[in-house]
Amino acid sequence: MAPVLPLVLPLQPRIRLAQGLWLLSWLLVLAGGLILLCSGHLLVQLRHLGTFLAPSCQFPALPQAALVAGAVALGTGLVGVGASRASLNAALYPPWRGVLGPMLVAGTAGGGGLLVIALGLALALPGSLDEALEEGLGTALAHYKDTEVPGHCQAKRLVDELQLRYHCCGRHGYKDWFGVQWVSSRYLDPSDQDVVDRIQSNVEGLYLTDGVPFSCCNPHSPRPCLQNRLSDSYAHPLFDPRQPNQNLWAQGCHEVLLEHLQDLAGTLGSMLAVTFLLQALVLLGLRYLQTALEGLGGVIDGEGETQGYLFAGGLKDMLKTAWLQGGVACRPAPEEAPPGEAPPKEDLSEA
262 has pLDDT over 80: yes
What is the C-alpha to C-alpha distance for residues 324 and 74, in angstroms, rounded to an integer? 40
**Tens digit of pLDDT for each residue in 97-125?**
777 777 777 777 777 788 888 888 888 88
User: Does the pLDDT of residue 329 top 50, yes or no?
Assistant: no
Q: Beta strand 7-9 with 306-308: parallel, antiparallel or unpaired?
A: antiparallel
Provide the angle, in degrees to the nearest 10, between the axes of the packed helices 253-294 and 155-166: 80
Say if CB 210 and CB 231 are below 8 A apart. Answer: yes
Q: How confident is the model at residue 223 (pLDDT cuts 50, 70, 90)?
A: confident
**Mean pLDDT value across residues 224-251:** 72
Q: Of residues 110 and 284, which shows the higher confidence score?
A: 284
Residue 40 contacts residue 64 (beta carbons within 8 Å) = no
For 215-241, letters b (16+ CB in 10 Å) and e give bbbbeeeeeeebbeebeeeeebeebeb
The DSSP bridge partners found for residue 8 are 307
pLDDT at position 136 is 93
pTM to 2 decimal places: 0.77
With a CB cutoff of 8 Å and minimum separation 6, the contacts of 168 are 162, 249, 251, 252, 253, 255, 256, 257
d(CA 175, CA 113): 47
| Phi/psi at 100 (5° precision) | -70, -40
Query: CA dihedral in degrees (336, 340, 344, 347; nearest 10)?
Result: 160
Amino acid at 118: A
- List, for residues 15-68, the tens digit of each pLDDT value: 888 888 899 999 999 999 999 999 999 999 999 998 899 988 889 999 999 999
Sign, Cα dihedral of 38, 43, 48, 53:
positive
pLDDT at 350: 44
- Cα Rg of the chain (Å, integer): 35
pLDDT score recorded for residue 159: 95
Q: Report d(CA 76, CA 106) in Å as an integer.
A: 9
The answer to whether 176 and 170 are in contact (CB under 8 A) is yes
Q: Which residues pair with 348 in a beta bridge?
A: none
Predicted confidence band of residue 215 (pLDDT cuts 50, 70, 90) = very high
Q: How many CB atoms lie within 10 A of CB 318?
A: 14
Residue 286: name the closest of 44, 30, 91, 14 by CA.
14
229: left (phi over 0), alpha (psi -120 to 50) or beta: left
**Residue ranges of the alpha helices (H) in the chain?**
11-49, 61-87, 94-97, 100-106, 112-124, 129-142, 155-166, 193-200, 253-294, 315-330
